[in-house]
Structure 1
Amino acid sequence: MKLKVKDITSFLEGMAPLSSQESYDNSGLIVGNREMEVTEVLLSLDCIEDTVEEAIQIGANLIIAHHPIVFGGLKQLNGKNYVERTVINAIKNDIAIYAIHTNLDNYKFGVNYEIAQRIGISNPRILAPKKNVLKKLVFFCPENDSDKVTQAIFEAGGGNIGEYSECSFESSGDGFFKPGENSNPTSGTIGAREKVNEKRIEVIIPVHKEGQIIKAMKEAHPYEEVAHDIYLISNVNQDEGSGMIGELEKPMEVGAFLTHIKEAFDCGIIRHTELVKKEIKTVAFCGGSGSFLLTNAKRAQADIYITGDFKYHEFFDAEKAIIIADIGHFESEQYTPHLILALLKKNFINFAFHLSKVNTNPINYF
């Protein structure tokens, strides 16, 4: 199977679109050409110098990493630090580097869903759903064609609300129009005002799929000019956002639960606040640096909040209402390459994907 970089990255972006990344992030194709044919793919948490060398050794010319090697702008490329040396070596060896970072964090079945599976969480749900990422599409259509057009919109990604799909609202009424001289009306006569029984149909659509949904609507609609309105709405999207929360199938004694976490994520240590809960049932968690979600975890009445990179003074913010368990940034996200591998294998069955053997954790424990 001959694949180009764009074939693989477009598939990933269909699930975790670049528009879903945070404003500070730099996800996407960092080095390389979208049209380049891919030999083999290396999957890693980070892309550093050793990762590029590993790609060279196994004959891979595309590295897909969770963390972007470039966050800020590069003004020079002279090899003075590991970032510049990594980029230079990738370019010299025709190796593309792609990052799928906070857009994968915010994906419903992304980084935090993988963590949920490792912990043993049932019914995981987004801890902090995103706002301003949904729109409402309202369009008008002849009654006899409404089912066909609506179905096209559903297939293009519209009409999803939480665990429900193909959601819409319809009302009936009369539509009026007068075809002009250069028009090609489906019904009616040029120059004469026409009355048609129509339906007004409302559907929720995700912002990042707006283009493909409008295209699908127009292709399925019988009219050459489709009357429609698009509204930005402030509703949260339950399928997109930061962190997750869920319940254990059975409550666990707090010490036993921390031991379970330490084993599941191979933690050198767990930094934690006072163990103010005797049992753990409701668990909140966020891969990477998640201290910004502590308020959400407390508001959701989680027993414990698991993440990485808590600073000293931030531990005080638990205020004996919740247990903070800092398992480490690397430790919380180390299985992300396995997640990416599983996603890719569903679509690219007979292609060579490799999990990196390079341990990129910069932190050691004595």
Structure 2
Amino acid sequence: MQIKAVIQHLENLAPLAYAEDFDNVGLLVGNTETTVTGIIVTLDTLENVVDEAIEKKCNLIISFHPIIFKGIKKFNGSNYVERVVIKAIKNDIAIYAIHTALDNALHGVNDMICEQLGLRNRTILIPQSGNIKKLITYVPLEKAETLRNALFNAGAGSIGNYNDCSFTSQGVGTFKASENANPSVGQIGKIHHEEEAQIQVIYPKHCENNILKTLFENHPYEEVAYEITTLENKNQHIGMGMVGELPEAINEVAFLQHIKKVFKTGCVRHSALLNKPIKRVAVLGGSGSFAIKDAQRAKADIFITADLKYHQFYEAEGKLILADIGHYESEQYTKNLIISYLRKKISNFAIILSDKNTNPIQYI
């Protein structure tokens, strides 16, 4: 198996098209054509992780966080980022980062946090906008059904729990083929009138290449008339954070002690208690201060995240409890998610969970 085949599996789980604009995801080091000898999965790619990959004969590191986050102007080993990349290149080890693509995935980082807490009725906290597109095209009436079905098979036409959704209207299309054309209907130099169907379908943006390939392969015209627009509709299956409910309400102190145990953290920093039970829980792995208002709007009793600053705890405003469990701690189970997923997809070589604790923060 080549690296590109592994990447395809990973992108089925977390398409890179849904990563945040500021992020640096995908294959950061290596060649997609390289044959894989073994895979090691880690939260962070540090030098000791590269050493572990060498020792265990793994030439592909799948990392949650990207080791290369901003531009590197020199490679002289002056910092840990450069040393990691140099060592990886010297030992023919590829590095793939999944980061916010997995943050935004329906069955990604935040779903894993909810799973650890046993939350039910989960929904995306901040649904992503700008990732639903609409295709409009025109086709002869007798070819409309064939084209529609091909587009459905390519990933178009899904709306929530409904599939094969489209809208079709009828009209008359006109065109005149030039002397260099090879028209499937009509004659060169004469205006032609054709009874046509206008087909409209929506699709997720990561399917666009496949949708257009299918359109061109299944459309009878030499020149295909089509238009694509990006919709403002929010995608309820893609986005940051998640909100769910506990099976039964629990005392707030007991719940804080519970999350401290579940996430094996040295401490839980939290805002003022509200003296009411916890039932509805919002979560966002990693740095999630930007989502405090969203957690309030979702009527969460508590918002579990990381990297909250001093003044941000005031933003709870007596409406919910803010709980900072630590960046590493909030994302630690991501490794297990990736391992479990890949082992179901790939069975012909080793997929290893790194045994290195890459948490840079220590507690005393």
Q: TM-score, normalised by structure 2?
A: 0.94
1:38 matched residue in structure 2 = 36
The AA in structure 1 aligned to 2:321 is: I
1:8 matched residue in structure 2 = 6
8 Å Cα contact 1:277/1:303 also seen in 2? no
Residues 292-311 of structure 1: pairs in structure 2 closer than 5 A:
292-311=290-309
2:163 and 2:274 map into 1 onto residues whose CA distance is 41
Residue 151 (str. 1) matches residue 149 (str. 2) = yes
Question: Among residues 77, 96, 114, which one is paired with 1:79 in the alignment?
Answer: 77
Secondary structure (helix, strand or coil) at the match of 1:278 reads coil
Secondary structure (helix, strand or coil) at the match of 1:37 reads coil
Q: Deviations over 1:36-72 (max 9, x none)?
A: 1110000000110110111011100110000011112
2:267 and 2:204 map into 1 onto residues whose CA distance is 40
Deviation at 1:210, TM superposition (A): 1.6
Secondary structure (helix, strand or coil) at the match of 2:182 reads coil
Over the matched positions of the two proteins, sequence identity in percent amounts to: 51
Residues 198 and 41 of structure 1: CA distance in aligned 2, closer, same or farther (over 3 Å): same
Structure 2: unaligned runs, 5 residues or longer: none
Q: Deviations over 1:95-118 (max 9, x none)?
A: 111111111111122111111211
1:120 matched residue in structure 2 = 118
1:331 matched residue in structure 2 = 329
The AA in structure 2 aligned to 1:67 is: H
2:26 matched residue in structure 1 = 28
Deviation at 1:145, TM superposition (A): 2.3
Secondary structure (helix, strand or coil) at the match of 2:149 reads helix
Q: Deviations over 1:189-228 (max 9, x none)?
A: 4444433332211111222322221111121222222221
The AA in structure 2 aligned to 1:253 is: N
Question: Among residues 213, 230, 246, which one is paired with 1:215 in the alignment?
Answer: 213
Q: 217-226 or 293-302, which moves further after superposition? A: 217-226
Deviation at 1:246, TM superposition (A): 1.9
Secondary structure (helix, strand or coil) at the match of 2:52 reads helix
The AA in structure 2 aligned to 1:266 is: K
2:67 and 2:200 map into 1 onto residues whose CA distance is 42
Q: 138-147 or 63-72, which moves further after superposition? A: 138-147
Residues 180 and 42 of structure 1: CA distance in aligned 2, closer, same or farther (over 3 Å): same
Q: 47-56 or 179-188, which moves further after superposition? A: 179-188
The AA in structure 1 aligned to 2:99 is: H
1:173 matched residue in structure 2 = 171
Deviation at 1:288, TM superposition (A): 0.6
The AA in structure 2 aligned to 1:44 is: T
Question: Among residues 36, 59, 62, which one is paired with 2:60 in the alignment?
Answer: 62
Deviation at 1:269, TM superposition (A): 1.5
8 Å Cα contact 1:254/1:277 also seen in 2? yes
1:195 matched residue in structure 2 = 193
1:191 and 1:73 map into 2 onto residues whose CA distance is 55
Deviation at 1:277, TM superposition (A): 5.1
2:23 and 2:132 map into 1 onto residues whose CA distance is 21
The AA in structure 1 aligned to 2:146 is: K
Number of aligned residue pairs: 364
Residue 321 (str. 1) matches residue 315 (str. 2) = no
8 Å Cα contact 1:115/1:332 also seen in 2? yes
Q: RMSD of aligned C-alpha atoms?
A: 1.8
Secondary structure (helix, strand or coil) at the match of 1:263 reads helix
Q: 187-196 or 278-287, which moves further after superposition? A: 187-196
Q: 295-304 or 344-353, which moves further after superposition? A: 344-353
The AA in structure 1 aligned to 2:122 is: P
Residues 268 and 206 of structure 1: CA distance in aligned 2, closer, same or farther (over 3 Å): same
Secondary structure (helix, strand or coil) at the match of 2:75 reads coil
Structure 1: unaligned runs, 5 residues or longer: none
Secondary structure (helix, strand or coil) at the match of 2:20 reads coil
